Amino acid sequence: MKRGFLGLLGAVAVSMMLSGCWGTIETGNVGVRTNLNGTVDQQLVSEGFYWAITSSVKEFTTKEIPVDLENMQPKAKDNLSLKDLDVTVRYQVTPASIRGLVTTKTNSSAKQDGVYWPGYFLVASVAKSEIADSVAGMDSLTIHTLRTQLEERSKKAIQKSLDTTDPGVFQINQVIVRQVTTDPTIENAIRNVVAKDKELQAAKLGIEIAEANAAATQKTAQTLTPAFLQHEYNQVLMEFAKKGNGNTLILDGSPGSKLLQVAK
């Protein structure tokens, strides 16, 4: 009789295990228990082994969750759309708030490898909207050089929006701009701006050189006084006198100029 009872007890235990009446919660996660009548327990299921004979338990993570937003094309301040913007938002949920998310926002969580990510779709939706608003306040020609600024703006905006609707529930840890690609027309505009800037620099340099040459010419002209020219003239005469052989020197090139015979 005793052996038969133990066998029956063992069979019941195996049946319970096979039917999902028990399970384990991994470290860093919590469980939310829902009873057969649809009510949700106030007490969260702690990490470790649990029984769920007359209820069901869903496992939720309290670890950091990544939200990957791909292929976004928001418009910038100049009303030009980006070709591709990829951003990752990393967040966590306060463990004590998970039960509230389950009961009030039933479709906000995503399931990954059997574990639920609380508030995933809610954060994704808010993040897309706030990132678009952040981009709208920046110039498309320079946004690719201002990733850090875009990350900081978006992080503050997402956190503020979530705190407004669900205070104390979400913590935005980081916003990472993984890729930002401007529209081809914008890239051409950027190249044109760079080319024009170089042309402007070259033009400014040319003006500076011309001004320097003009200043030098003016300075030289100021040194050519009558006394200085007479001195140079005398030096030429002396050179001709040294050569001898009766060299003839025309004093100037005008008609009727006198000839000066210089002999050694």
SS3 (DSSP) at 24: strand
Residues 49 and 72 occupy one common structural domain: no
CA pseudo-torsion sign 123, 124, 127, 129: negative
**Averaged pLDDT, 178-196:** 72
- Please give the DSSP secondary-structure letter assigned to residue 34: E
Residues 177 and 71 occupy one common structural domain: yes
Q: Which pairs with CB-CB distance under 8 Å and at least 24 residues apart come from 189-195?
A: 189/141, 190/141, 193/141
Residues 102 and 177 occupy one common structural domain: yes
Dist CA 155 CA 171 (whole Å)? 10
How many domains in the chain?
Answer: 4
Span 91-122, pLDDT tens digits: 999 999 999 988 898 899 999 999 999 999 99
Q: Looking at the predicted structure, is the pLDDT value of residue 5 above 50?
A: no
Q: Looking at the predicted structure, is the pLDDT value of residue 185 above 50?
A: yes
Residues 199 and 113 occupy one common structural domain: no
CA pseudo-torsion sign 250, 252, 258, 260: negative
Q: Looking at the predicted structure, is the pLDDT value of residue 168 above 70?
A: yes
Q: Which domain holds residue 259?
A: 225-264
Residues 178 and 190 occupy one common structural domain: no
Residues 121 and 55 occupy one common structural domain: no
Residues 214 and 237 occupy one common structural domain: no
Residues 178 and 201 occupy one common structural domain: no
**Averaged pLDDT, 36-55:** 84
Q: In this predicted model, which residue has the larger pLDDT, 108 or 252?
A: 108
pLDDT score, position 246: 57
Residues 146 and 252 occupy one common structural domain: no
Q: Are 176 and 64 in contact (CB under 8 A)?
A: no
Closest CA to 32 of 46, 17, 53, 20: 46
Q: How many CB atoms lie within 10 A of CB 87?
A: 23
Q: How many CB atoms lie within 10 A of CB 186?
A: 21
Span 69-82, pLDDT tens digits: 999 999 999 888 99
Q: In this predicted model, which residue has the larger pLDDT, 251 or 148?
A: 148
**Averaged pLDDT, 184-188:** 65
pLDDT score, position 121: 97
pLDDT score, position 102: 85
Q: Are 118 and 61 in contact (CB under 8 A)?
A: yes
Burial of 176 (0-12, 13-18, 19+ CB in 10 A): middle
Dist CA 187 CA 193 (whole Å)? 10
pLDDT score, position 63: 95
Residues 42 and 125 occupy one common structural domain: no
pLDDT score, position 198: 65
Residues 214 and 264 occupy one common structural domain: no
For tokens 């678009």, the residue is 132
pLDDT class of 256 with cuts at 50, 70, 90:
low
Phi-psi map region of 244: left, alpha, beta (phi>0 left; psi -120 to 50 alpha): left
